[in-house]
Amino acid sequence: MELRQLRYFVVVAEELNFSHAAARLFVSQPALSRQIKKLEDELGITLFLRQAEGLKLTEAGGFFLERAKEIVQRSQFTVQTLKARRNSTEAPLVVGYIPTILQSFLGDVLHRFGLTHPQVPIRVQEMSPSDQAGALRDRAIDVAFMGNPPPELEAEFIVQCVKQVPIAAVIPSTHRLVNQPSIDLAELATEKFIGMTEETFPGRNDRIRGTCRLAGFTPNFHLFADSHASMITLVAARQGVTVMPSEAAALPHPQVVFVPLHRPLDYARSTAVRRKETPPPSLDKFLKILFA
C-alpha cells in the first residue's frame, strides 16, 4: 500500500466521482480507477459501490476513509515540519537532563513544545548534574534539568522548581520490608547505604543524610555510584539500600523495590536551571510551555 493510493482514495471519496477526482489530482481517469482497484485488491474489501448514479462508499469504505485521512494529514504535517525546521533561522534549543527527569515530565514537555513550535530544532543530551553545570557555563546547553541542584548553584544560575517529588526508600526485592505499603525510614538505620559520587552528583549525599536525619539517624555510606542506574544496580546486588526521588522508579529496576515513606515525609525538587540572562527566543518559548 502506497501513501499515494491513500491520497487518491480520500479525494475520490470526497468527490464520489472519478472524473472530478482525476481533475483534482491531475491524473487520468483510467489511471485513478486502476489505483483504487489495486487498493481494494490489497485490502481485500470493496471501498466503493459503482452505481449508475455514481459512486457510494461502502460501510468498510467509510471506516477506512477516516483512517486514511488521519494518515494523509499526519504525513503532510510531518513534511511541513521538516521543511520548517530545514528553513528555520532559529538557533536550536539544547537541553541537558538526567534520565529520571526525562521519564517524569521532560518527555511530555518536549512533545508539547515540538507540536507548538515545530520550526525550532531541539537537541537533548543526557548528562550528570556536574557536567550540566559546566555545559551551562560554557554555553553548550540552554537549560539544565539536574534534579535538585546543590545550594551553591542558586547564586550562579536561575533555579526554578518545576515539581516536588516525594522521597522513597530503595531496597532489594528480597528485603524483609519489601511487602510493606510504606515504612519508617528509621527501620533502615542499621543498613549499609549507597550514595552517589560528589564528582557527578554534587550535594546528593548531603540530601540523603538530611532525609535520614529527619528519621533520627545518620546513614552509614558503604558504596558510591556515579549514576541512578548504577545506584539501582548496587541495591539489586544487595550491596545496600538508599533513598531516591520516587520518580526514579520509572527507570528499569529488576530485583529492586521503591517503598514510600510515612516517616519522614520528605521531598526533592525537580528544577530547571539556566543562566542569569535574557533567554534566547527558543528557550523563552520552551519555558512558557514548561511553566504553563
pLDDT tens-digit readout, 116-172? 988 888 889 988 999 999 999 999 999 999 998 988 899 999 999 999 999 999 999
Q: What's the alpha-carbon Rg for the chain, to the nearest Å?
A: 28
What whole-number distance in Å separates Cα of residue 266 and Cα of residue 262? 9
Residue-range domain boundaries for the chain: 3-87, 93-161+270-290, 165-267
Distant-in-sequence contacts of 18-27, Cβ < 8 A, 24+ apart: 18/55
| CB distance 127 to 97 below 8 Å | yes
Question: What is the predicted pLDDT for the residue at 194?
Answer: 97
> At residue 242, does pLDDT exceed 80?
yes
Question: What is the predicted pLDDT for the residue at 63?
Answer: 86
Q: What is the pLDDT of residues 54-70, one digit of tens each?
A: 889 998 888 888 888 88
- Say which amino acid occupies 211: T
Tell me whether domains 3-87 and 93-161+270-290 share a fold.
no
Q: Give the residue-averaged pLDDT of 77-91.
A: 65
Which CATH architecture group holds 165-267? 3-Layer(aba) Sandwich (3.40)
This prediction has a pTM of 0.67
Question: What is the predicted pLDDT for the residue at 273?
Answer: 97
Question: What is the predicted pLDDT for the residue at 239?
Answer: 96
Q: In terms of Cα–Cα distance, which of 228, 210, 211, 198 is closest to 133?
A: 198
> At residue 77, does pLDDT exceed 70?
no
H helix or E strand, kind and range, residue 94: strand 93-97
> At residue 212, does pLDDT exceed 90?
yes
| CB distance 3 to 71 below 8 Å | yes
Phi and psi dihedrals of 105, rounded to 5?
Answer: -150, -20
Q: In terms of Cα–Cα distance, which of 265, 271, 269, 270 is closest to 168?
A: 265
Q: In terms of Cα–Cα distance, which of 250, 235, 159, 254 is closest to 203?
A: 159
More confident residue, 118 or 79: 118
Distant-in-sequence contacts of 66-73, Cβ < 8 A, 24+ apart: 68/6, 68/9, 68/10, 68/13, 69/10, 71/3, 71/6, 72/3, 72/6, 72/7, 72/10
Question: What is the predicted pLDDT for the residue at 83?
Answer: 67
Question: What is the predicted pLDDT for the residue at 84?
Answer: 60
What whole-number distance in Å separates Cα of residue 185 and Cα of residue 285? 41
Q: Give the residue-averaged pLDDT of 172-186.
A: 96
Task: Report residue 86's pLDDT band, with 50, 70 and 90 as the boundaries.
Answer: low
> At residue 250, does pLDDT exceed 90?
no
Fold of 3-87: Arc Repressor Mutant, subunit A (1.10.10)
Cβ density class 65-76: b for 16+ within 10 Å, e for less: beebbeebeeee
Question: What is the predicted pLDDT for the residue at 87?
Answer: 59
On average, the pLDDT of the chain sits at 90
Q: Give the residue-averaged pLDDT of 185-192.
A: 98
- What percent of the chain is predicted at pLDDT more than 70? 96
Give, in words, the CATH class of 93-161+270-290. Answer: alpha beta
| CB distance 8 to 64 below 8 Å | no
Question: Which residue's C-alpha cell is 538557533?
Answer: 91
- What percent of the chain is predicted at pLDDT more than 90? 62
